[in-house]
Chain A
Amino acid sequence: DSGVTQTPKHLITATGQRVTLRCSPRSGDLSVYWYQQSLDQGLQFLIQYYNGEERAKGNILERFSAQQFPDLHSELNLSSLELGDSALYFCASSVDGEDTEAFFGQGTRLTVV
């Protein structure tokens, strides 16, 4: 168990809908990362937060947004969902987001039908 908690574990929704994925980082970790892993695809970096502020942005679609709250949990919002958004979404956390280990949660499997 990495100590990173993601909810829900599974999510099935229809095209055009909006969903929110939640991540609780390990105790003491200030930085949160979000990744997307499609079938047979590698891990695509979406966005990183550090202590509530956005630190780095990757290939995140405009339909997607994220934030990190004062209690350091983070949410990834996916809107106007398309079939191609079906994937595993992982959250990872690290102590300071600089040159330190990042630990992954178990992921949320999103299926868009």
Chain B
Amino acid sequence: GENVEQHPSTLSVQEGDSAVIKCTYSDSASNYFPWYKQELGKGPQLIIDIRSNVGEKKDQRIAVTLNKTAKHFSLHITETQPEDSAVYFCAASNYGQNFVFGPGTRLSVLP
């Protein structure tokens, strides 16, 4: 089955700097890759996603890149703000079945 690895497990950045979180997946049939942000005591919130026919997608300060050949995808957050502090999860799925999540990255943005 699918296996998703995520690095780093923790990340601290200064406010205004960029943050990058990387994920790799194992199943070449996976074609949908969402990113979720989870704040304390809340459910995961979808922040951006990318499908296998696209190499890059951007939404304001957040971007995701996908390299299907290497089976890895990354989340980029620019101009980080304290409210970006949370746990971020990447996931991979094959046509919406059985989303497999990475172990998560705890991002801390220091003022």
Known A43-B44, A106-B43; contact A96-B96, beta-carbon cutoff 8 A: yes
Residues from 59 to 112 in A contacting B, C-beta threshold 8 Å: 90, 92, 94, 96-107
B86 at the interface (CB under 8 A from A): no
Taking the nearest CB of chain A, how far is it from the CB of B70, in angstroms?
21
Is there a chain B Cβ closer than 8 Å to A28's Cβ?
A: no
Task: Report if B72 contacts A (CB, 8 A).
Answer: no
Per the bound structure, the CA–CA distance linking A80 and B104 in Å amounts to 30
Is B14 an interface residue, CB under 8 A from the partner? Answer: no
Which residues of B are found within 8 Å of A90, using beta-carbon distances? 43-44
CB pair A97 B44 closer than 8 Å: no
Bound Cα distance from A92 to B38, whole angstroms? 14
Q: Residues of B at under 8 Å CB distance from A?
A: 31-32, 34, 36, 42-46, 49, 51, 89, 91, 93, 95-104
**Footprint of B on A, CB under 8 Å?**
2, 4, 31, 33, 35, 41-43, 45, 48, 55-56, 58, 90, 92, 94, 96-107
- Sample of 11 more A-B contacts, CB < 8 Å, known A4-B43, A97-B97, A102-B46: A41-B103, A42-B89, A90-B43, A97-B96, A99-B31, A99-B96, A100-B96, A104-B45, A104-B46, A105-B43, A107-B43
